[in-house]
Amino acid sequence: MSAGSELTGQLLVATPQIDEGIFYRCVVLLLHHGPDGAQGVVLGRALPALVDAVLPGWGSSDRGSGMLFQGGPVEVDSALAVAQVPGIGEPLPGVRGIFSGIGLVDLDSDPALVLPTVERLRVFAGYSGWAPGQLEMEIARGSWYVVARAVGDAFAPAECNLWREVLARQRGPLALVATYPADPGLN
Protein backbone atom coordinates (compact mmCIF):
# COMPACT_ATOMS: atom_id res chain seq x y z
CA MET A 1 0.00 0.00 0.00
CA SER A 2 1.46 3.35 -0.97
CA ALA A 3 1.36 6.36 1.33
CA GLY A 4 -1.18 8.02 -0.94
CA SER A 5 -3.62 5.12 -1.17
CA GLU A 6 -7.20 5.87 -0.28
CA LEU A 7 -8.85 3.54 2.23
CA THR A 8 -12.00 5.55 2.95
CA GLY A 9 -14.98 3.20 3.06
CA GLN A 10 -12.90 0.08 3.70
CA LEU A 11 -12.88 -2.07 6.82
CA LEU A 12 -9.92 -2.52 9.10
CA VAL A 13 -10.03 -5.94 10.75
CA ALA A 14 -7.73 -6.43 13.72
CA THR A 15 -5.22 -9.23 13.22
CA PRO A 16 -4.54 -11.69 16.04
CA GLN A 17 -1.43 -9.59 16.70
CA ILE A 18 -3.71 -7.13 18.53
CA ASP A 19 -4.40 -9.23 21.59
CA GLU A 20 -5.89 -6.75 24.06
CA GLY A 21 -7.57 -3.38 24.43
CA ILE A 22 -10.32 -1.69 22.48
CA PHE A 23 -9.06 -2.97 19.13
CA TYR A 24 -8.92 -6.65 20.16
CA ARG A 25 -10.91 -8.59 17.54
CA CYS A 26 -12.58 -5.46 16.27
CA VAL A 27 -13.72 -4.19 12.91
CA VAL A 28 -13.33 -0.49 12.10
CA LEU A 29 -15.17 1.29 9.30
CA LEU A 30 -12.86 3.95 7.86
CA LEU A 31 -14.84 7.15 7.41
CA HIS A 32 -11.82 9.13 6.23
CA HIS A 33 -8.28 8.32 5.10
CA GLY A 34 -5.89 10.77 3.55
CA PRO A 35 -2.60 12.61 3.97
CA ASP A 36 -3.92 14.21 7.16
CA GLY A 37 -4.54 10.82 8.84
CA ALA A 38 -7.49 8.51 9.25
CA GLN A 39 -10.71 8.34 11.24
CA GLY A 40 -13.22 5.56 11.66
CA VAL A 41 -15.58 3.87 14.06
CA VAL A 42 -15.43 0.48 15.77
CA LEU A 43 -18.44 -1.55 14.64
CA GLY A 44 -20.77 -3.73 16.65
CA ARG A 45 -19.84 -2.80 20.21
CA ALA A 46 -22.87 -1.56 22.12
CA LEU A 47 -22.49 0.50 25.27
CA PRO A 48 -24.83 0.14 28.25
CA ALA A 49 -26.65 3.35 27.31
CA LEU A 50 -29.52 4.40 25.11
CA VAL A 51 -29.03 7.11 22.50
CA ASP A 52 -32.03 9.08 23.79
CA ALA A 53 -30.38 9.32 27.22
CA VAL A 54 -27.53 11.37 25.74
CA LEU A 55 -29.08 12.74 22.51
CA PRO A 56 -32.84 13.15 22.97
CA GLY A 57 -34.81 12.44 19.82
CA TRP A 58 -32.08 10.54 17.97
CA GLY A 59 -32.71 7.10 19.42
CA SER A 60 -36.47 7.01 19.26
CA SER A 61 -36.62 6.14 15.58
CA ASP A 62 -37.08 2.68 14.15
CA ARG A 63 -34.08 3.56 11.95
CA GLY A 64 -31.67 2.08 14.50
CA SER A 65 -31.42 -0.05 17.61
CA GLY A 66 -31.67 2.85 20.05
CA MET A 67 -28.42 1.69 21.64
CA LEU A 68 -25.31 3.85 21.82
CA PHE A 69 -22.22 2.18 20.34
CA GLN A 70 -18.52 2.59 21.12
CA GLY A 71 -16.78 4.24 18.18
CA GLY A 72 -13.27 4.23 19.56
CA PRO A 73 -10.95 5.63 22.17
CA VAL A 74 -10.79 9.22 20.86
CA GLU A 75 -13.15 11.91 22.23
CA VAL A 76 -15.42 9.41 23.98
CA ASP A 77 -17.50 12.26 25.40
CA SER A 78 -18.60 13.27 21.89
CA ALA A 79 -20.88 11.47 19.46
CA LEU A 80 -21.15 10.96 15.74
CA ALA A 81 -23.78 9.18 13.71
CA VAL A 82 -23.51 7.12 10.57
CA ALA A 83 -26.55 6.61 8.38
CA GLN A 84 -27.39 4.32 5.51
CA VAL A 85 -28.74 6.64 2.86
CA PRO A 86 -30.91 5.80 -0.13
CA GLY A 87 -29.30 5.62 -3.57
CA ILE A 88 -27.84 8.55 -5.45
CA GLY A 89 -30.21 11.48 -5.46
CA GLU A 90 -30.90 14.80 -3.86
CA PRO A 91 -28.80 15.79 -0.84
CA LEU A 92 -30.48 14.86 2.43
CA PRO A 93 -31.05 17.43 5.18
CA GLY A 94 -28.50 17.07 7.96
CA VAL A 95 -26.58 14.27 6.23
CA ARG A 96 -23.26 14.55 4.39
CA GLY A 97 -22.58 11.64 2.05
CA ILE A 98 -19.10 10.24 2.58
CA PHE A 99 -19.10 7.18 0.30
CA SER A 100 -21.56 4.95 -1.49
CA GLY A 101 -24.61 4.36 0.69
CA ILE A 102 -23.14 5.88 3.88
CA GLY A 103 -23.38 9.41 5.26
CA LEU A 104 -22.41 11.29 8.40
CA VAL A 105 -25.30 12.85 10.28
CA ASP A 106 -25.12 16.34 11.74
CA LEU A 107 -26.38 15.65 15.27
CA ASP A 108 -27.07 19.38 15.72
CA SER A 109 -29.83 18.99 13.10
CA ASP A 110 -33.45 18.40 13.99
CA PRO A 111 -33.92 14.61 14.27
CA ALA A 112 -37.53 14.98 13.08
CA LEU A 113 -36.20 16.27 9.73
CA VAL A 114 -33.29 13.84 9.35
CA LEU A 115 -34.61 10.49 10.58
CA PRO A 116 -37.36 10.06 7.97
CA THR A 117 -34.79 10.48 5.17
CA VAL A 118 -32.32 7.76 6.22
CA GLU A 119 -32.73 4.01 6.04
CA ARG A 120 -30.67 3.12 9.14
CA LEU A 121 -28.83 5.09 11.79
CA ARG A 122 -26.09 4.20 14.27
CA VAL A 123 -24.79 6.63 16.92
CA PHE A 124 -21.24 6.20 18.23
CA ALA A 125 -19.56 7.62 21.32
CA GLY A 126 -16.05 8.58 20.29
CA TYR A 127 -14.12 7.48 17.24
CA SER A 128 -10.89 5.80 16.20
CA GLY A 129 -8.17 8.05 14.84
CA TRP A 130 -4.67 7.84 13.39
CA ALA A 131 -2.11 10.58 12.79
CA PRO A 132 -0.64 11.01 9.27
CA GLY A 133 1.23 7.82 8.34
CA GLN A 134 0.33 6.01 11.57
CA LEU A 135 -2.31 3.71 10.07
CA GLU A 136 -0.09 2.84 7.11
CA MET A 137 2.67 1.87 9.58
CA GLU A 138 0.28 -0.29 11.61
CA ILE A 139 -0.93 -2.06 8.45
CA ALA A 140 2.67 -2.66 7.32
CA ARG A 141 3.50 -4.13 10.78
CA GLY A 142 0.63 -6.59 10.40
CA SER A 143 -1.84 -5.15 12.91
CA TRP A 144 -4.73 -4.75 10.44
CA TYR A 145 -6.25 -6.53 7.48
CA VAL A 146 -7.89 -4.16 4.99
CA VAL A 147 -11.02 -5.63 3.40
CA ALA A 148 -14.09 -4.44 1.51
CA ARG A 149 -17.19 -3.60 3.50
CA ALA A 150 -20.71 -4.88 3.05
CA VAL A 151 -23.52 -2.35 3.42
CA GLY A 152 -24.89 -3.91 6.60
CA ASP A 153 -21.54 -3.99 8.44
CA ALA A 154 -21.96 -0.50 9.88
CA PHE A 155 -25.26 -1.57 11.43
CA ALA A 156 -24.34 -5.05 12.65
CA PRO A 157 -26.15 -6.03 15.84
CA ALA A 158 -24.09 -5.96 19.01
CA GLU A 159 -24.74 -9.63 19.67
CA CYS A 160 -23.04 -10.80 16.45
CA ASN A 161 -19.34 -11.57 16.19
CA LEU A 162 -18.59 -9.16 13.36
CA TRP A 163 -14.83 -9.89 13.48
CA ARG A 164 -15.45 -13.57 12.77
CA GLU A 165 -18.21 -12.87 10.20
CA VAL A 166 -16.11 -10.41 8.17
CA LEU A 167 -13.10 -12.72 8.13
CA ALA A 168 -15.16 -15.81 7.27
CA ARG A 169 -16.54 -14.16 4.12
CA GLN A 170 -13.04 -13.42 2.76
CA ARG A 171 -11.47 -15.59 0.07
CA GLY A 172 -8.45 -17.80 0.52
CA PRO A 173 -6.33 -18.15 3.64
CA LEU A 174 -7.68 -14.97 5.25
CA ALA A 175 -11.00 -16.75 5.87
CA LEU A 176 -9.17 -19.25 8.08
CA VAL A 177 -8.24 -16.46 10.52
CA ALA A 178 -11.92 -16.42 11.55
CA THR A 179 -11.25 -19.69 13.40
CA TYR A 180 -8.21 -18.35 15.27
CA PRO A 181 -8.69 -19.19 18.97
CA ALA A 182 -9.01 -16.38 21.52
CA ASP A 183 -6.14 -17.97 23.45
CA PRO A 184 -3.83 -19.88 21.08
CA GLY A 185 -1.99 -21.32 24.09
CA LEU A 186 -5.04 -23.42 24.91
CA ASN A 187 -5.08 -24.97 21.45
pTM tops 0.95 = no
Q: Give tens-digit pLDDT for 81-139.
A: 999 988 656 678 899 988 888 999 999 999 999 998 898 999 999 999 999 999 999 99
| pLDDT reported for residue 63 | 64
| pLDDT reported for residue 90 | 66
d(CA 68, CA 186): 34
Full DSSP string of 74-101: EEEEEEEEEEE--SS-SPPTTEEEEETT
